[in-house]
Structure 1
Amino acid sequence: MALGRAQIFGVAVALADAHGLAAVTMRRLGAELGVEAMSLYHHVANKNALLDGMVDAVFTEIALPAGPDWRAALTRRYGSAREVLVRHPWSIGLMESRSSPGPATLRHHDAVLGCLFGAGFPVPLAASAFAILDSYLYGFALQEASLPFSPGAETTAVAESIMSSFADGEFPHLTRLGREHVMQPGYAFGAEFDLGLTMLLDGFEAALGA
């Protein structure tokens, strides 16, 4: 089967998922594909072009905003984006960094703006909404990926370990947060995302109405 760009980017994404972005070298990628590294340059000009393609491949997994209700459309879009970033944490810092964005990247940006413009957002407010919503998405995803625990019992174990280093009454507010929220059954840091997104959309809806 002939080697193609989509196959190369797909394998590169899988390699980054499994071993981190540092593992994605032309030599390693060639080995995964069963070809010499030099043959990849017939399809991908350089490492930057490879990263462009990997980012674009990630964007293809994110649901485009669609439907007449702009709030519902953006809620689905940003919820989908967070789920995709959880699957590909290496991509968080790359998603908005490319100077040669691919077609899926451009299609997503255009669709988000189209959703806002279609709802009646003037250009300055649409620009602010897009920037702030994306900043929230990537900031939340980065914090979630950096946490020293996974949901479930591990969360409680890490919280207990941290609080055990406190002297009695030393950090009462952190202790309360841990005991009454973080260590409660069913706690998941990711659940905070929906509340934050709702509050942002509430603010933009109010600004639009004003």
Structure 2
Amino acid sequence: MQRTQIPTYERIAIDLANRIYDGHFKIGEKIHGRSTLASEYKVSPETIRRAIKILEDVEIVHSAQGSGIVISSKENAFKYINRFSTIESVKDLEKQINALITERSKLDEQLSDTLRKLMDYSGKLRHTNPLAPIEIEILPGCNHIGKTISEVKFWQNTGGTVVGMKRKGEIVISPGPYALIWEGDVLLIIGDEKIYDRVVHFLQE
């Protein structure tokens, strides 16, 4: 069920009652003039007049001739606020929000950590199946650029077999021992669970 929105003047009355109960305004103290309150709440003087009228009706303030609006009862302010209060106060809700923000930060951190672990595991586990090719790019400065797979004795040095090669968006399947190795090539290699580390080490020599 949709809640009926509280009119502006009534919300101002509630706010003023809160300020009286919190001690912002003292018993016997005179509230600011209507024009000042209108400026503070950014509403018309008429809206302030209606808000003050509510507070007068429930005997939180009273108007004295020549003295303006005077605070008369903190107890009545509490009773009036209570009519609009839920079980939880605004401060309780603020605490809940802060707790949820903290909890969300922890969840975000846990999620990031779990994703990092997943990526790490994926990077490692993808190389444990000898029939699943690993992909290794030939980076600038590699000493084997311009040589054939046979020349560098790829299998003898790494134990891996080059089953494919990606070059400029195209894939060459089973390139053979005489395929040249160029910068930017991506070699598709099969081997045992340690093949990735051996190939990386070999290409970085």
TM-score (norm 1): 0.21
Higher alpha-carbon Rg: 2
Choose between structure 1 and 2: higher helix proportion: 1
Choose between structure 1 and 2: higher strand proportion: 2
TM-score (norm 2): 0.22
